[in-house]
Amino acid sequence: MSTPLQPSDEQAKVITGCLLLLSIIALAGVFYITQAVLIPFVIAIFIATIVTPMVDLLVLKWKLPQIIAISLTLLLVLSFGFLLCLTLIYSTQQVIYKAENQYSEKFGIFINSAFEAAKEADDPPEPQPAKDKEEPQSEDIDQKETALEVPPVVNADASEPLTAEKPETGWFQKMGIDLDTLKKATIDYMRDSLKSIAVSTMQSALNFTTTSFFVAIFVIFLLAGRNPNAVVKNVIYFEIEQKIRSYISTKLVLSLITAILVGVTLKLFGLELALVFAILTFLLNFIPSVGSVIATLLPLPVAFAQFSDSPWTIAGVILIPGAIQMTIGNGIEPKLMGEGLQLHPVTVLLALSFWTLLWGPIGAILAVPITAGIRIVLMRFESGKTAGNLLAGILPGESTTVA
């Protein structure tokens, strides 16, 4: 009898890796299709992770009934969410009003002045009439008048024909560019862009409000079905909850401090929509690396429209918030995070790209905690430790294993 061929260890690892890759692709398709349901659910999980210490405190130490503890926690969460929705709606209205009226007019004035300056620079200089260096003498006036009466003699045998000089043309005319048409097209494009920004901002606010409603429902059921005593006994879930809670809580506090400092700075400069940029700074700081850069550069168009005659003010609006972001993000945050979620920077970048591709801006915010939770689960299985170590930046063959 022939014995069946058994794959070697190397072949088994290759087969496992291929199956894992196919599973990731299939799950990515499922996540993309079901994002309308999964995004509120995942957000609700992280919110419940943050507020569960309050429920545990009320139930385990203060001995309150679970229904009362959950009701008080939900009241706190819903109040915060309602306040955030109101602030977002108010900020959206301000953005729409400013975009359609004030900034449209200011950008129109700026574009007109820019094209007028381009026209003046491109127009060729007018020829100046040649002036005689010496004034004509009085005794030569009669001779000049007599000479003017005699018609000039044209030499028919001249080798070079007389041609009329063509007026000089500017660079834009040589390239066939009509500045008036280009200015009109630029103004129309600017107005259409401002309208589209206003419409997309309103749609984002409405989507956020709708998502918040589903998030609130999921939070209610997650807290209602939680058993504090059973959670402590589940080692894997307890570790995921502890690390994710530590990361989100630290990030939440630091983002709030950053948003307050940036908002106060922009308000002191007199920048309009300072509250809007403070809220965006708070949200974008949850996106690693890229979020702080975007939050710093967002006020730039408004600063150009409002302080077009003061370049130092525009520089201050960008540089001072950028210094605040750099100080908190690169100086304070790493010390408070400690070991953090033990993810390699390349892993963070890839996770950011992957989840942004699937779920958009919400995926960018949730990318790091989701990836950290996946890594903690992988590290609890022998077959998943290799992938878990790769997420931490440890290559196969290295003896160090990060827990």
pLDDT of 113 above 80: no
Which of these ranges, 69-78, 153-162, 183-192, 236-245, has the smallest mean pLDDT? 153-162
Mean pLDDT throughout 353-373? 89
Name the amino acid, one letter, at 38. Answer: L
pLDDT of 164 above 50: no
pLDDT for position 147: 47
pLDDT of 78 above 60: yes
Instruction: Provide the mean pLDDT of the chain.
Output: 76
- The pLDDT tens digits of the residues spanning 341-351 come to 788 888 888 99
Helix and strand numbers, DSSP H then E, in the chain: 16, 0
Higher pLDDT, 289 or 97: 289
Mean pLDDT throughout 387-398? 79
- Give the pLDDT band of residue 129 (cuts 50, 70, 90): low
- The pLDDT tens digits of the residues spanning 293-340 come to 989 998 887 888 778 778 899 899 999 999 999 999 888 888 877 666
pLDDT for position 108: 60
Name the amino acid, one letter, at 364. Answer: A
Q: Label residues 5-38 b or e (16+ Cβ within 10 Å = b).
A: eeeeeeeeeeeeeeeeeeeeeeeeeebeeebeee
- Give the pLDDT band of residue 265 (cuts 50, 70, 90): very high
> Which token pair is 36?
């309308």
Mean pLDDT throughout 242-260? 88
Q: How far, CA to CA in Å, does 64 sit from each of 49, 50, 56, 71?
A: 20, 20, 10, 11
Mean pLDDT throughout 246-274? 89
Mean pLDDT throughout 171-178? 61
Contacts of 383 (CB under 8 A, 6+ apart): 16
> Which token pair is 219?
């939070």
Higher pLDDT, 203 or 160: 203
Under a CB-based contact definition with an 8 Å cutoff, are residues 296 and 322 in contact? Answer: yes
pLDDT for position 219: 86
Higher pLDDT, 260 or 287: 260
Length of the chain: 403
Q: Is 39 left (phi over 0), alpha (psi -120 to 50) or beta?
A: alpha
> Which token pair is 15?
């087969």
Higher pLDDT, 9 or 78: 78
Higher pLDDT, 134 or 68: 68
Mean pLDDT throughout 122-134? 53
Higher pLDDT, 142 or 260: 260
pLDDT for position 66: 80
- Give the pLDDT band of residue 7 (cuts 50, 70, 90): low
pLDDT for position 319: 93
* Start-to-end CA span in the chain (Å): 47
